[in-house]
Structure 1
């Protein structure tokens, strides 16, 4: 495989992307910094096919990333391969308003052909290529220039290895016939809605107890305010105030600005500075959440109770057994929340009762809940056995 020198010019980038556009797939990775900024700072992009690989410096003076971004988000003929690519996709979305498509994530794919829930990249490379990755440059400051040869070599290795691993994973998927299992998961990864930053919806990510409309209205207002403050200063939102502090402020709003000094998580200076003044104005202007904005109650039917909780535990045991039997990740087959809903009597709109998940696991899960499936021990291993309806009724 040909490894190019660090690409720092638009012409070289356009030439590279022109060749890569003829590939069936490209492996992609990014290096970025986000510890001190609201928006992740893109520091390096690595890309490869089976014949060549390069690292692109987005911080190089005068470089235009359009050829690369067009390849990633505008070319439907080339599959874009990532490993644990959520943050990479987020960065591309922030730059373009679009996401890479079609897309393939090797971490997700491993869930369909092994019991690995979230296999790390180093373990992926070791298991498929028998190589141990040098982690010395892993925690480097990618924003500092110049980059060393070791840093660039480390970074490009991420995509050269991935370009060799992907065809092997694909071959295994084709052999097992589980490729269709991943279609929905990959489309979810590429869904722009997952990356759209709407400050008015930021409150939904914050854990706050209760369903009081006035409290949730305050939470919505100050979460929106925090997003705007953090964006304006380009600092992490947690540097403005932590989630638990916002939840506390929404539940127990201070009567006057001086009371902010008593709020855990805020500095004394907030009692008379400008940011404290803006926070108080936001709290005072907050309106109760409207009925159509109120979060829906969990559709749990009857409460689980002790017996229901035992049924849920049996379903989770069944899930472990089935995942082991077919050598797939349990989390790909079903989520714990879905199993608890199933145990509580819910049947509608559960992913585990739809499509391939129903065929592979959901059918047996229903049988267990309805008393048609039991556990048995054979040769020291726990297995499932279907109850003979005729014998059971005699």
Structure 2
């Protein structure tokens, strides 16, 4: 792992609200930009809202560097291009905790990903902690401090922000650089720094944050209930239609059409207005607004992307299920032997895909392949029975 990715710096623990600088004017923003010029590593967190929108609305960005913390008010500043240039500077390492949504927000706002990154949640999981461990748990673990979470339900779009809210937001980066340093020492000791770099490189891939209309169907909960190729093709078409509508109206996907109703429509495969209206759970106002569009999408579904041969649609045989059980036991042993969460290595669903012949899975890449993937491939290859229908 490069020194740039894991510089050896003794980061201070930043205490007290007096260090928090609120940046809400162009002058203060310029002062902030000058202040971080010489910092090669910064901690970053964001506060955004998206409960009622498709796209996240960035409200506040918290930055820690050296002995200082800044809260940049994204709603108060009309021009943030210089800020985004600095945040996305490839010579500066950005430390996040569970940073995927933060990175998505930056990508939406700036059309860039602020690489390179160091994600402390991923680092902690690679060292044997829970794969969903929270920032507060790491603060308690390393510093024996219980963070105040009384402002966790704050509407970050409301102004003005109180000193208490700003201090709460600042806490999300106050200990982050120190935690990064401690985790980095553990990674180096256990020779897993390259594992983290691999994970963080994947985290900043642009494709992760772009919704490809051809693949949005993969987000649908319950799509595996669709047994017929025609039904799955309808679901693909409806998922694409829903995505376009959600983007255009800036609404959550579920506000346009919930997953369970999308699956129900796909199962019914309606070809007329009467058949569409017979699908339960569809509001009259929804049908009036979108009924003709849905039927059009269904009619052209056969010309779209077929997923009839996707491995997810295959069913394991008795022998396949037995093999899955053996692989899950082997996964548990591997995770225990290597002091790492099993979910960080692979999942039950991914093992099912592997048994069904899928090769483009995360398990067969990088450190996971060396740790467990090769053994899985060998065990599958040595099985002569029919594994799936």
* TM-score calculated relative to the size of structure 2: 0.82
Counterparts of 2:293 and 2:121, CA distance in 1: 43
Task: State the Cα RMSD in Å.
Answer: 3.0
Q: CA deviation at 1:305?
A: 3.5
- Please state whether the residue corresponding to 1:248 is helix, strand or coil: helix
Of 323, 332, 340, the residue aligned with 1:320 is 332
Q: Is the 8 A contact 2:45 2:62 kept in 1?
A: yes
Equivalent in the alignment of 2:310: 297
Counterparts of 2:32 and 2:162, CA distance in 1: 22
Counterparts of 2:379 and 2:296, CA distance in 1: 55
Counterparts of 1:299 and 1:263, CA distance in 2: 25
Counterparts of 1:368 and 1:258, CA distance in 2: 52
- Please state whether the residue corresponding to 1:38 is helix, strand or coil: coil
Counterparts of 1:314 and 1:287, CA distance in 2: 39
Equivalent in the alignment of 1:330: 342
Equivalent in the alignment of 1:105: 119
Q: CA deviation at 1:348?
A: 5.7
Distance 1:218 1:313, change over 3 A: closer
Distance 1:261 1:296, change over 3 A: closer
Q: CA deviation at 1:105?
A: 0.8
Name stretches of at least 5 consecutive residues in structure 2 with no aligned partner.
Answer: 1-13, 383-389
| 1:228-243 alignment runs, 5 A limit | 228-243=244-259
Counterparts of 1:3 and 1:370, CA distance in 2: 59
Counterparts of 2:298 and 2:377, CA distance in 1: 48
- Please state whether the residue corresponding to 2:46 is helix, strand or coil: strand
Equivalent in the alignment of 2:90: 76
Equivalent in the alignment of 1:392: none
Residues 1:24 and 2:35 are matched in the alignment: no
- Please state whether the residue corresponding to 1:29 is helix, strand or coil: strand
Q: CA deviation at 1:19?
A: 2.6
- Please state whether the residue corresponding to 1:288 is helix, strand or coil: helix
Counterparts of 1:219 and 1:78, CA distance in 2: 43
- Please state whether the residue corresponding to 1:84 is helix, strand or coil: coil
Residues 1:67 and 2:82 are matched in the alignment: yes
Of 307, 322, 334, the residue aligned with 1:310 is 322
Of 242, 264, 270, the residue aligned with 1:248 is 264
Which protein is bigger by CA-based radius of gyration? 1
Q: CA deviation at 1:224?
A: 2.8
For this pair of structures, how many residues does the alignment match?
364
The one of the two structures with greater contact order (alpha-carbon pairs below 8 A, sep at least 6) is 2
Counterparts of 1:350 and 1:236, CA distance in 2: 28
Distance 1:157 1:299, change over 3 A: closer
Q: CA deviation at 1:362?
A: 4.6
Equivalent in the alignment of 2:5: none
| 1:1-394 alignment runs, 5 A limit | 1=14, 3-60=19-76, 62-73=77-88, 75-206=89-220, 207-208=222-223, 209-210=225-226, 212=228, 214-257=230-273, 260-271=276-287, 273-284=288-299, 286-290=300-304, 293-294=306-307, 296-298=309-311, 304-340=316-352, 344=355, 352=363, 355-362=366-373
- Please state whether the residue corresponding to 2:175 is helix, strand or coil: helix
Deviations 1:205-237 (A, max 9, x none): 224344655444433333233223323332212
